[in-house]
Structure 1
Amino acid sequence: MQTSDLRIALFSGNYNYTRDGANQALNRLVEYLLRQGSAVRIYAPKVANPDFPPTGDLVGVPNVRMPVKGRGEYRLPTGLDRKVKQDLLRFEPNIVHISSPDPAGHAALRWAQDYDLPVLASVHTRFETYPRYYGLGFMEPAIEWILRRLYNRCDALVAPSQSMVDTLLEQDMHDDITIWSRGVDRTIFSPAKRDLEWRRAHGLDDDDVAVVFLGRLVMEKGLDIFADTIIELRKRQVPHKVLVIGDGPARGWFEQALPGGIFAGFKTGADLGLALASGDVFFNPSITETFGNVTLEAMASGLPVVAAGATGASSLVDPGETGQLVPPGDAAAYAEAIAPYCTDHALRRAHGEAGERKASGYSWDAINQVVADTYIRLVEQREAERAADEARIKTALESA
Structure 2
Amino acid sequence: MRVAVVTESFLPTVNGVTNSVCKVLDHLASAGHEAIVICPDAGAPDEYKGFTVYTVPALAYRQFPVGLPNPLVQRILARFAPDVLHAASPFLLGAQGIAAANRLGVPSVAVFQTDVAGYTRRHGVGLASTLAWRFVRWVHDGADLTLVPSSASHADLEGAGIDRLARWGRGVDLVRYHPNNRFAPATRALRERLSPDGEVVIGYVGRIAAEKQVERLGSLRGLPGIHLAIVGDGSHVPVVERQLRGMPATFLGRLGGPELAAAYASFDIFAHTGTEETFGQTVQEAHASGLPVVAPGAGGPIDLVDDGVDGYLFSPADDRALRASVRALVMDAPLRRRMGEAGRRAVLGRTWESVCDELIGHYERVILDRALALSGTSSREVYG
TM-score (norm 1): 0.87
Are 2:96 and 1:87 equivalent residues in the alignment?
A: no
Match of 1:322 in 2: 310
Question: Is residue 98–residue 122 contact of structure 1 (8 Å, CA) maintained in 2?
Answer: yes
Are 2:177 and 1:189 equivalent residues in the alignment?
A: yes
1:212 positional shift: 0.7
Q: Distance in 2 between matches of 1:203 and 1:122?
A: 38
1:88 positional shift: 1.8
1:283 positional shift: 0.7
Match of 2:199 among 208, 222, 234: 208
Q: Distance in 2 between matches of 1:352 and 1:322?
A: 6
1:161 positional shift: 2.5
Match of 2:229 among 214, 237, 243: 243
1:132 positional shift: 2.7
Secondary structure of the residue aligned to 1:310 is coil
Unaligned runs of 5+ in 2: 378-384
1:98-113 alignment to 2 at 5 Å?
Answer: 98-113=87-102
Larger radius of gyration: 1
1:156-188 deviations in Å (ceiling 9; x for gaps): 1112223332332233222x2222211211221
Q: Distance in 2 between matches of 1:356 and 1:53?
A: 35
Amino acid at match of 1:65: A
Q: Distance in 1 between matches of 2:270 and 2:363?
A: 35
Question: Is residue 91–residue 139 contact of structure 2 (8 Å, CA) maintained in 1?
Answer: no
Query: Between Structure 1 and Structure 2, how many residues are aligned?
Result: 370
Amino acid at match of 1:41: I
Match of 2:215 in 1: 224
Q: Distance in 2 between matches of 1:53 and 1:239?
A: 49
Secondary structure of the residue aligned to 1:375 is helix
Q: Distance in 1 between matches of 2:70 and 2:2?
A: 19
Percent of residue pairs identical? 27
1:48 positional shift: 3.2
1:49 positional shift: 7.2
Q: Distance in 1 between matches of 2:197 and 2:344?
A: 22
Match of 1:31 among 26, 29, 49: 26
Secondary structure of the residue aligned to 1:42 is strand
Q: Distance in 2 between matches of 1:63 and 1:293?
A: 27
1:362 positional shift: 1.0
Match of 2:16 in 1: 21
Match of 1:393 in 2: none
Q: Distance in 2 between matches of 1:328 and 1:16?
A: 33
Are 2:162 and 1:173 equivalent residues in the alignment?
A: yes
Match of 2:68 among 61, 65, 78: 78
Match of 1:280 among 250, 268, 282: 268
Match of 1:336 in 2: 324
Match of 1:97 in 2: 86
Question: Is residue 180–residue 368 contact of structure 1 (8 Å, CA) maintained in 2?
Answer: no
Match of 1:380 among 359, 364, 368: 368
Question: Is residue 215–residue 239 contact of structure 2 (8 Å, CA) maintained in 1?
Answer: no
Question: Is residue 11–residue 43 contact of structure 2 (8 Å, CA) maintained in 1?
Answer: no
Question: Is residue 125–residue 288 contact of structure 1 (8 Å, CA) maintained in 2?
Answer: no
Are 2:247 and 1:252 equivalent residues in the alignment?
A: no
Q: Distance in 2 between matches of 1:203 and 1:118?
A: 51
Unaligned runs of 5+ in 1: 1-5, 390-400
Match of 2:256 among 268, 274, 299: 268
1:54 positional shift: 4.2
1:343 positional shift: 1.2
Question: Is residue 44–residue 55 contact of structure 2 (8 Å, CA) maintained in 1?
Answer: no
Q: Distance in 2 between matches of 1:141 and 1:222?
A: 22
Q: Distance in 1 between matches of 2:372 and 2:142?
A: 19
Q: Distance in 1 between matches of 2:347 and 2:89?
A: 27
Match of 1:47 among 37, 42, 46: 42
Change (3 A) 1:286 1:249: same
Secondary structure of the residue aligned to 1:306 is strand
Question: Is residue 110–residue 143 contact of structure 2 (8 Å, CA) maintained in 1?
Answer: yes
Q: Distance in 2 between matches of 1:323 and 1:306?
A: 6
Q: Distance in 2 between matches of 1:192 and 1:375?
A: 36
Change (3 A) 1:203 1:383: closer
Match of 1:125 in 2: 114
Question: Is residue 80–residue 108 contact of structure 1 (8 Å, CA) maintained in 2?
Answer: no
Match of 1:307 among 292, 295, 313: 295
1:206 positional shift: 5.3
Match of 2:54 among 48, 51, 59: 59
